[in-house]
């Protein structure tokens, strides 16, 4: 059986809500503290690491390979919300699988087995190809407002704080609805992504004052969108009588 160690803010809550999702995987450690991970996981000797980061740009290039080396893991599944394409290209294919998260434990289970299977099928002499991000479709440039145009969208000057924690969103990511509906799962992913982009936009690099204003605008609009989707999620949680 494959041994798996999980590092991420939502993974412990996901496991509590849906322990059967990783039924044929031995979870040897789960937590959100990097310090505890480094202190406890090497003795567990996991085969695969599942590492969840909100923003991959802020993770040191050697951090993931270092965690793999220290723990003896042969593979790592790294999930993230946002990352620059140049950052994604720094990770070696064949040992590190990159996925935009958050993801359910069922999807994680599939990638754990795929990572092990890929290693079994790959010739020992073959060199892994570099990671190449998927091509992005071309899109028209974003127009924040034509000269003389009046915006009809009003956003609060001070965004409301997030209503849901990473642990609560992790529960909603795994919860089963009373009917054939996965709206709680999908809405939790949307809210989590909006929370992550809200935080991401606060730390974007600014070349000048115009950049600062645009990023401030993105931050406020994202916070407003996140608050609206949290209202929708709250209504759904009440309707489904989900206990958080």
Same domain, 19 and 103: yes
More confident residue, 124 or 59: 59
For residue 18, being part of any structural domain is answered with yes
For residue 108, being part of any structural domain is answered with yes
Please report which confidence band the pLDDT of residue 141 belongs to, taking 50, 70 and 90 as the band edges.
Answer: very low
Which pLDDT score is estimated for 168?
A: 93
Which pLDDT score is estimated for 57?
A: 85
Q: What is the pLDDT of residues 188-227, one digit of tens each?
A: 989 998 998 888 888 887 888 888 888 888 888 898 888 9
For residue 131, being part of any structural domain is answered with no
Distance CA 144, CA 127 (A): 46
Reply yes or no on whether the pLDDT at 131 is more than 70.
no
Which pLDDT score is estimated for 151?
A: 46
Reply yes or no on whether the pLDDT at 144 is more than 50.
no
Reply yes or no on whether the pLDDT at 49 is more than 90.
yes
For residue 134, being part of any structural domain is answered with no
Reply yes or no on whether the pLDDT at 167 is more than 50.
yes
For residue 203, being part of any structural domain is answered with yes
Q: What is the pLDDT of residues 52-106, one digit of tens each?
A: 998 888 898 889 999 999 999 999 999 998 888 888 888 877 789 999 888 999 9
Last residue of a domain, which of 121, 152, 175?
121
CB atoms within 10 A of CB 187: 21
For residue 141, being part of any structural domain is answered with no
CB atoms within 10 A of CB 81: 20
Contact predicate 74/95, CB 8 Å? yes
For residue 148, being part of any structural domain is answered with no
pTM for this entry: 0.68
Please report which confidence band the pLDDT of residue 139 belongs to, taking 50, 70 and 90 as the band edges.
Answer: very low
Contact predicate 91/118, CB 8 Å? no
Q: Which residues pair with 26 in a beta bridge?
A: 3
Same domain, 101 and 172: no
CATH of the domain at 22: 3.40.50.2300
Which pLDDT score is estimated for 178?
A: 57
- Give the mean pLDDT of 35-41: 97
Cis status of the peptide bond prior to 102, with omega within 30 of 0? yes
Same domain, 112 and 40: yes
- Give the mean pLDDT of 2-16: 95
Range of 53's domain? 2-121
- Average pLDDT over the chain reads 83
User: If you average pLDDT over each of 54-63, 152-161, 177-186, which comes out highest?
Assistant: 54-63
Please report which confidence band the pLDDT of residue 164 belongs to, taking 50, 70 and 90 as the band edges.
Answer: very high
Same domain, 18 and 85: yes
For residue 206, being part of any structural domain is answered with yes
**How many folded domains does the chain comprise?**
2
Same domain, 99 and 186: no
Which pLDDT score is estimated for 122?
A: 60
Residue tagged 């935009």 (tokens): 100
The 3-class SS string of the chain reads CEEEEEECCCHHHHHHHCHHHHCCEEEEEEECCHHHHHHHCHHHCCCEEEEEEEEHHHCCCCHHHHHHHHHCCCEEEEEEEECCHHHHCCCECCCEEEEECCCCHHHHHHHHHHHHHHHHHCCCCCCCCECCCCCCCCCCCCCCCCCCCCCCCCCCCCCCCCCCCHHHHHHHHHCCCCCCCCHHHHHHHHHHHHHHHHHHHHCCCCCCHHHHHHHHHHHHHHHHHHHHHHHHHHHHHHHHCCCC
More confident residue, 43 or 125: 43
The 3-class SS string of 94-119 reads CCEEEEECCCCHHHHHHHHHHHHHHH
Last residue of a domain, which of 52, 86, 121?
121
Distance CA 242, CA 244 (A): 6
Which pLDDT score is estimated for 134?
A: 41
Same domain, 117 and 8: yes
Phi, psi of 82 (to 5 degrees): -145, 145
More confident residue, 178 or 64: 64
Same domain, 112 and 173: no
């Amino acid at each position: 059986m494959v041994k798996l160690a999980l590092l991420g803010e939502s993974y412990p809550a996901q496991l509590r809500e849906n322990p059967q999702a990783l039924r044929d995987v031995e979870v040897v450690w789960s937590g959100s503290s990097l310090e505890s991970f480094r202190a406890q996981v090497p003795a567990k000797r996991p085969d695969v690491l599942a590492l969840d980061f909100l923003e991959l740009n802020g993770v040191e290039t050697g951090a993931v390979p270092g965690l793999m080396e220290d723990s003896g893991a042969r593979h790592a599944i790294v999930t993230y919300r946002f990352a620059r394409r140049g950052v994604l290209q720094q990770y070696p294919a064949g040992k590190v699988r990159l996925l935009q998260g958050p993801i359910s434990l069922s999807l994680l289970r599939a990638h754990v087995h795929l990572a092990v299977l890929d290693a079994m099928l790959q010739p020992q002499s073959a060199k892994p190809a570099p990671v190449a991000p998927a091509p992005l479709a071309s899109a028209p440039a974003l127009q924040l407002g034509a000269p003389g145009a009046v915006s009809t969208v009003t956003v609060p000057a001070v965004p409301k704080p997030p209503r849901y924690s990473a642990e609560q969103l992790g529960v909603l990511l795994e919860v089963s609805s009373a009917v054939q509906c996965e709206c709680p799962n999908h809405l939790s992913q949307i809210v989590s992504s909006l929370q992550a982009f809200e935080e991401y936009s606060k730390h974007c690099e600014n070349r000048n004052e115009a950049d600062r204003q645009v990023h401030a605008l993105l931050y406020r609009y994202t916070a407003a969108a996140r608050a609206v989707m949290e209202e929708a999620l709250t209504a759904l949680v009440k309707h489904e009588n989900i206990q958080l």
